[in-house]
Amino acid sequence: MSDTTAGGSGSGAGGGDFLASLPTEYRGEGALKNFGGADGGAKLAKSYLDLNRAFSSRSMADAPVPGDDAGRRAVLAKLGAAPPESPDKYNLPDKPSAKAMRDTFHKHGLSAKQAEGLFADIDGAEQRATTERKARMDTRARESTDALRREWGAKFDAEMEQAKRGFEHFLPEPVRQYLEATGAVHIPEMTKLFNQLGRALKEGTMLTGAGAAGSLNSAAAIKAERTKIETEMTAMQKQVGFDPISPAFQAIIARRNDLLNKESRAFAADTARATA
């Protein structure tokens, strides 16, 4: 004999009220009010299946957008895309740019994986750029050397030594380092300019920091040398593609200014001797 009391087996199919078959604490729940009667159990089952199918077919795109930072972080954390708690949690290589990159990545909310991948891409691009720049400078240096070898022939080594002498004498160390770092030192015209200055030093035809020497021991001689330099400047300014801030032109300007200073001192000395 089957149990017909309070909904019997709880299936709601025995003719009793389905809600009456539930534990007392559930019977008054408003969400269940539509499941009363003998077919309440079937209605509840259908409702559950419909709801399950609806949730199963939804994607994250259907989910409501979180209303605050905590909610957004929780969603990103579930997706594995949340940024770490602090910039120092990014596992980046120990390189000079790493500190600034950590701060930037954290500011823009990158995940650890995104930050590491982006840093690797940036670092790789910088390394390639450095390698390519060095290759260009090596090519420029080789082409410059080949051109000067063809021009100077057997005197190449001696002429290069004179260029080195002029380069080291007239330019302070920071300027020499800049020209070497940028590759400007490998411009043939630059080498020939310092070759001329080195020759003048060797032959004693210009004033040095120690005082007058050789033929440049009067205001007139210095003026003649200055005029020659200024003629070279004018010729350079007329060239196609002239760059007024190029290292070569700046070196000539420095030489002209040096001669102007020495010319004024020599003129004062000549005047003093003439009136003595």
Mean of all residue pLDDT scores within the chain:
78
Task: Return d(Cα 116, Cα 89) in angstroms, integer.
Answer: 11
Both tokens assigned to 63: 């989910």
- In this prediction, residue 156 has a pLDDT band, given cuts at 50, 70 and 90, of very high
Both tokens assigned to 62: 């259907």
Q: List the Cα angle 270/271/276 in 5-degree steps.
A: 100
Both tokens assigned to 182: 């940028």
- Residue with the bigger pLDDT between 243 and 78: it is 243
Task: Return d(Cα 220, Cα 245) in angstroms, integer.
Answer: 30
Least confident of 60-64, 220-224, 255-259: 60-64
- In this prediction, residue 70 has a pLDDT band, given cuts at 50, 70 and 90, of low
**Residue 260 neighbours by CB under 8 Å, 6+ apart:** 226
**Is it the case that residue 56 has pLDDT exceeding 80?**
no
Measured N-to-C along each axis, helices 156-170 and 247-275 cross at an angle, to the nearest 10 degrees, of 70
| pLDDT at residue 275, rounded to an integer | 67
| pLDDT at residue 211, rounded to an integer | 39
| pLDDT at residue 179, rounded to an integer | 83
- Residue with the bigger pLDDT between 183 and 217: it is 183
Least confident of 9-13, 50-54, 69-73, 235-239: 9-13
Residue type, 204: G
Region of residue 65 (left: phi > 0; alpha: psi -120 to 50; beta: else): beta
% of the chain beyond a pLDDT of 70 = 77
| pLDDT at residue 83, rounded to an integer | 75
Task: Return d(Cα 198, Cα 161) in angstroms, integer.
Answer: 8
Count of residues for the chain?
Answer: 276
| pLDDT at residue 118, rounded to an integer | 92
**Residue 197 neighbours by CB under 8 Å, 6+ apart:** 166, 169, 170, 206, 255
The maximal CA–CA distance of the chain, rounded, in angstroms, is 149
**Is it the case that residue 12 has pLDDT exceeding 90?**
no
Task: Return d(Cα 23, Cα 46) in angstroms, integer.
Answer: 21
| pLDDT at residue 26, rounded to an integer | 83
Q: What is the pLDDT of residues 188-242, one digit of tens each?
A: 888 888 888 888 777 655 544 433 334 566 778 888 888 888 888 888 788 777 7
CA count, 13 A, side-chain hemisphere, 113? 6
Task: Return d(Cα 32, Cα 17) in angstroms, integer.
Answer: 12
Question: For the chain, what are the domain ranges?
Answer: 5-58, 154-275
Burial of 21 (0-12, 13-18, 19+ CB in 10 A): buried
**Is it the case that residue 89 has pLDDT exceeding 80?**
yes
**Is it the case that residue 146 has pLDDT exceeding 90?**
yes
Least confident of 66-80, 99-113, 134-148, 248-262: 66-80
- Residue with the bigger pLDDT between 83 and 26: it is 26
Least confident of 8-17, 105-114, 128-137, 182-191: 8-17
| pLDDT at residue 212, rounded to an integer | 38
CA count, 13 A, side-chain hemisphere, 220? 3
